[in-house]
Amino acid sequence: MLRAINPMGTTPIAGSLMKAADDFPPCANCRNIIILITDGVEACDGDPCIVSQRLQKQGIILKPFVIGIGMDENFKESFECVGTFFDAAHENTFKNVLGVVISQALDNTTAQINLLDINGKPTETNVPIILYDHTSQKVKKSFVHTLNFKGQPDTLVLDPLVVYDMEVHTVPPVRVDSITIYAGAHTHIGASTPQGQLDLRSNTRQNTIISCIIKPHGKNEILHVQEFGTVQRYISGTYDLEILTLPRIIQSGIAIDASATTTIAVPPPGMVTLRTGTSGYGSIFVLRENGYEWVTDLSESSERQVFQLQPGQYLVVFRSKFAQETGYSKTKEFKVSSGSSTIVKIN
């Protein structure tokens, strides 16, 4: 308990903040709060703003409370960067201000996170959310968003002394920065997250797993790799799909609408058995509008290879590893139909 104060004639605010930080023992889940009471500005050539911000960024303290006693109006602005400023002009005011500060320092408050659908209603849910301290970027809370038994976003208890950054882990994620929680009031935090579903339908004849690369339309950023036979939610918008069949299938400008399901299916592949009679070098090509496009290389050590290929017209080019002249290269065209089984021999 503080029983006496001996004024020394100077105001070392920056130094006092640095020394006060040493009074807190290491603790990952503690709320370290400083209440700075002063009748003047920094007088020892320190920078209280830099010190306060550095301590907050390192997660050592939360944003300090600053109580100014009988200070000149021109000095108040210099404390806005240090912490939350309260003006206590006389004794009665000081008691009231100190009570408010202690109440805010000790009390948590309630909030709810509204994940808004295409109509601006808080109906989206079941999404992981991480709340960060805006200053230190340390994780303060992580949870899966929930609607309660009334169908409303569940209530959270949050620290009003923390300014939050929120990342909603939809695909792609939605971020809301610099969220202020008001002490004693129920705060609503909104994020626009209208989602639709992408249903990648697998074919029962396909005995291998097909993956699909999802990108924002017109961009090279990979958002997600989704397997066929699964359903995934995405923020409503337009996407490009690269389906990793043989050959690959590119579908550009696929719309995923809010509260709707977009279904994508690929034709059943055909089974192609390639027999070369000897090991060697070669590749398979598929016929496109502008000529043949490479699909895959052949194994250099196998005389018999099996491929699952999408329907189309193909060309195989091959040369035995024992043939030392280009003229010994062999080519053969073949056609693949859905669900068919084809044997291609290169003699």
- Reported as a single tens digit per residue, the pLDDT across 187-237 is 999 999 999 999 999 875 666 789 999 999 999 999 999 999 999 999 999
Write down the pLDDT at residue 60: 67
Band of residue 72 on the pLDDT scale cut at 50, 70, 90: low
Give me the pLDDT at residue 52, please.
77
- Determine phi and psi for 305, rounding to 5 degrees: -135, 145
pLDDT in tens, 124-148: 999 999 999 998 898 999 999 999 9
What's the pLDDT at 184? Answer: 79
Q: Tell me how far apart the alpha carbons of residues 176 and 71 are, in angstroms, rounded to a whole number.
A: 37
> 198-212: per-residue pLDDT in tens?
999 987 566 678 999
SS3 content of the chain, % helix, strand, coil (to 5): 15, 45, 45
Nearest CA to 284 out of 299, 295, 273 is that of: 295
Q: Domains (ranges, CATH) in the chain?
A: 13-106 (3.40.50.410), 109-192 (2.60.40.1120), 195-265 (2.60.40), 270-345 (2.60.40.1120)
**Pairing between β-strand 261-265 and β-strand 195-201 as defined by DSSP bridges:** parallel
pLDDT for residue 303 is more than 60: yes
> E strands within 89-243?
109-116, 128-133, 139-144, 155-158, 163-168, 174-180, 187-192, 195-201, 211-216, 224-227, 230-235, 237-243
> How deeply is 34 buried, as exposed, middle or buried, from its count of CB atoms within 10 A (0-12, 13-18, 19+)?
buried
What is the percent of the chain with per-residue pLDDT over 90, rounded to a whole number? Answer: 60
> Tokens 């309630």 correspond to what residue?
110
Task: Decide: pTM greater than 0.75.
Answer: yes
Place of tokens 């196998």: 302
Q: What one-character DSSP code corresponds to residue 55?
A: H
Q: Is 163 left (phi over 0), alpha (psi -120 to 50) or beta?
A: beta
